[in-house]
A and B are shown apart, each in its own frame.
Chain A
Amino acid sequence: MNMKLKLARVEKNLSQQELADCVEATRQTIGLIEKGKYNPTLNLCVRIANALDKTLNDLFWEDHND
């Protein structure tokens, strides 16, 4: 489960649909990424990071200590 993405989205007051519209994806795709059931391409990761004003590391990097 990608909690970092979910938290960043909620922090920005965006629904899954709103984020999806920003990054030219579907709500289902965003939902699946948050659930950890879909691996997005780097292009989509960058678009999501830009939309949420975060870096790729902030959203997608998994530290072994986490």
Chain B
Amino acid sequence: MTKFPFIKDERQHAAFLKISAAMYFINLILLMILIFIRQFILHQPVSQFEDMAILMTFNAIFFLIMLFYFSGITLPVLSLKSILTFYAAFVLLGSLFTIIKYFVLMDTTWSFSFILGKFVIIAAICALFTGIYALFAYLGYRRMEKTIAE
């Protein structure tokens, strides 16, 4: 039935996947909380939790890429409007995170050049990720269409 000897049938397989997904989310959120605690409560230097941050970031990025590729979530790639909406939401989320990080948690002083600099970085990173996600969503869509056509 499955390649795991301890999973005997489809019901167990479904339960295994459901619990794995829930545990993955819990792990990811706990990792994020841990990073916030180290950065903003314990005031540790970035070098002390950089590995955790990199692990969490790559994990989240690949998780989304796989979801798009295997059509776990759908991004209608042929529509420019939907890609732009996704990009705008991404930039908004990134901006909110940056505002909270620098101006609430780190108490940084406001300056136009600082905000502009951060916004350019956010816009560029979000554009890169949106491009990657759109590409994988498109490849996943083509893979699915090919399977149906066979």
Which chain A residues border B150 with CB–CB below 8 Å? none
Interface flags for B1-15 (1: CB within 8 Å of A; 0: not) read 100000011111000
Interface size class of B (residues with CB under 8 A): under 10
CB A4 to nearest CB in B, in angstroms, measures 19
Which chain B residues border A24 with CB–CB below 8 Å? 1, 8-9
Kindly state the separation between the CA atoms of A20 and B8 in the bound complex, as whole angstroms: 10
Which chain A residues border B10 with CB–CB below 8 Å? 25, 29, 40-41, 43-44
**Which residue of A is nearest B8, CB measured?**
A26
> Which residues 7-32 in B have Cβ within 8 Å of A in the complex?
8-12
Which chain A residues border B8 with CB–CB below 8 Å? 24-26
Where the two chains meet, the residues of B that have a C-beta atom closer than 8 Å to any C-beta of A are: 1, 8-12
Other 4 A-B pairs with CB < 8 A, given A26-B9, A32-B11, A44-B10 = A24-B8, A26-B8, A26-B11, A38-B11
A to B CB contacts below 8 Å, 19 in the list: A20-B9, A24-B1, A24-B8, A24-B9, A25-B8, A25-B9, A25-B11, A26-B8, A26-B9, A26-B11, A26-B12, A29-B9, A29-B11, A29-B12, A38-B11, A40-B10, A41-B10, A43-B10, A44-B9
